[in-house]
Amino acid sequence: MTTVAAAEVLGFPAVWLRDNCPCERCRDPRNGQKLFGILDIPANVSIDRIESSAATFSVTFGPDGHRAVFSREWLDRQLGPASGDGRSEEDKQLWRAGDLAGSLPVASWSQYGNDDACRLEMLRAVQLVGFAVLHGTPVVEGTVLDVARTFGYVRETNYGELFDVRVEVNPSNLAFTGLEIAPHTDNPYRDPVPTMQLLHCLSNAVEGGDSGLVDGFQAGAILREEDPGSFEILTSTLVRFAWSDGKSSLSAERPLIDVDPRGGIREVRFNSRSMEAVRLSQGELVAFYAAYRRFAEVIARPELLLRFRLEPGDCVVFDNVRLLHARTAFTDRESGHGRGSGSGRGGAGGSRHLQGCYADLDGLASTIALLEKKGT
């Protein structure tokens, strides 16, 4: 090794280097967790000596003589700007419906289950474009839970591990009618909100009932470009969402568009059905509602809506804090029930029956990382 000047590790102060020491005294070799806290580092820590080789830097610290060895490759990777966690718009492929023509992220259930490369491709698609569709899953109740467990953990809520989407005689939610459902995100009244949703089709023998997705990050980016004032209002105004029935009372307060510290769009919460009265001054209310309407108009642009039809055995997996999902109105072909009144056949006999569940993006990201580490 050769002794070199501290300038060769320019940009890394002594406290940062000591805090990131990779030796076994500082990090558990089994899991990489630190074995010390910031108060265990001397307040007057300094660099006494640096020795270098072709692959490493060896740093000796004062005043206690602690020694750390860093690879040049690892240090080089730390010089660039922070890459983020993959959740904000800068890490996504924003889209309008036409951008995905002929290139929807779809795969068969058998290939997804038996080919790690296919699974990795589909899960990356959920990260990048916000969704993927699996064809040919078993048309069996509860299958949606099996799909979720291929990449993460089911988020159980007051609706249970899974929920049924079908026409009910006394619906507790508009989803359980045949009415049209405008683009929205689910569960904005939770904090944390379930960041992923899955919908599995068991039957869809109805007139109508087509599904739709809108890229909320794209809609937010359009609003920011066309009307930056409205974008600023919607990212800085807290909105209360709430939902309750006889068993649960839920509420959360978040902006319609949430941004990270760099200003990138990170979450969208948009659900007029569960939005409570906004409490602002009269002038602020006028400005908020103008911005809210402007954003809704962007979301409603036909070129942003990707329409498709779920057939029995199809399962769509999507990012619930980015994509807004929708449904056209439908009528039961046999009974004529469903559209408009919300009355119809309850139970498993309904001719449009989806099952859904929630999961989270951290589980998805973990599975992707493990598949990549495996060398898929």
Q: Under 8 Å CB-to-CB from 41, ≥6 apart: which residues?
A: 15, 18, 19
Q: Under 8 Å CB-to-CB from 224, ≥6 apart: which residues?
A: 231
CA angle 74, 76, 80 (to 5 degrees): 115
Same domain, residue pair 10 and 141: no
With H, G, I as helix, E, B as strand and everything else as coil, classify residue 221. Answer: helix
Pairing of strands 323-327, 181-184: antiparallel
Domain boundary among 79, 114, 144: 79
Domain count, the chain: 2
Ordered per-residue pLDDT tens for the chain, 376 residues: 555 445 456 579 999 999 999 999 999 999 999 999 999 999 999 999 999 999 999 999 999 999 999 999 999 989 877 777 889 999 999 999 999 998 999 999 999 999 999 999 999 999 999 999 999 999 999 999 999 999 999 999 999 999 999 875 455 566 666 788 999 999 999 999 999 999 999 999 898 999 999 999 999 999 999 999 999 999 999 999 999 988 899 999 999 999 999 999 999 999 999 999 999 999 999 999 999 999 999 999 999 999 999 999 999 999 999 999 999 998 865 544 444 433 333 333 448 999 999 999 999 999 999 999 998 6
CB 297 within 8 A of CB 161: no
CB 296 within 8 A of CB 289: no
CATH code: domain of residue 322:
3.60.130.10
According to the model, what pLDDT value does residue 83 have?
72
Which of 207, 254, 260 shows the shortest CA–CA distance to 234?
254
According to the model, what pLDDT value does residue 82 have?
74
pTM: 0.88
Same domain, residue pair 68 and 157: no
Same domain, residue pair 74 and 94: no
Q: Rounded to an integer, what distance in angstroms lies between the CA atom of residue 109 and that of residue 221?
A: 34
Beta bridge partners of 177: none
CATH code: domain of residue 61:
3.30.2020.30
In degrees and rounded to multiples of 5, residue 279 shows phi and psi of -110, 100
Q: Rounded to an integer, what distance in angstroms lies between the CA atom of residue 158 and that of residue 194?
A: 12
Same domain, residue pair 140 and 190: yes
Same domain, residue pair 282 and 344: yes
Same domain, residue pair 24 and 114: no
Same domain, residue pair 123 and 59: no
Burial class of residue 62, CB neighbours in 10 A (0-12, 13-18, 19+): middle
Same domain, residue pair 68 and 97: no
CA angle 315, 316, 317 (to 5 degrees): 120
Per-residue tokens: 55: 């692959």
With H, G, I as helix, E, B as strand and everything else as coil, classify residue 109. Answer: helix
194 falls within a domain: yes
State the residue range of the domain holding 18: 2-79
Same domain, residue pair 169 and 23: no
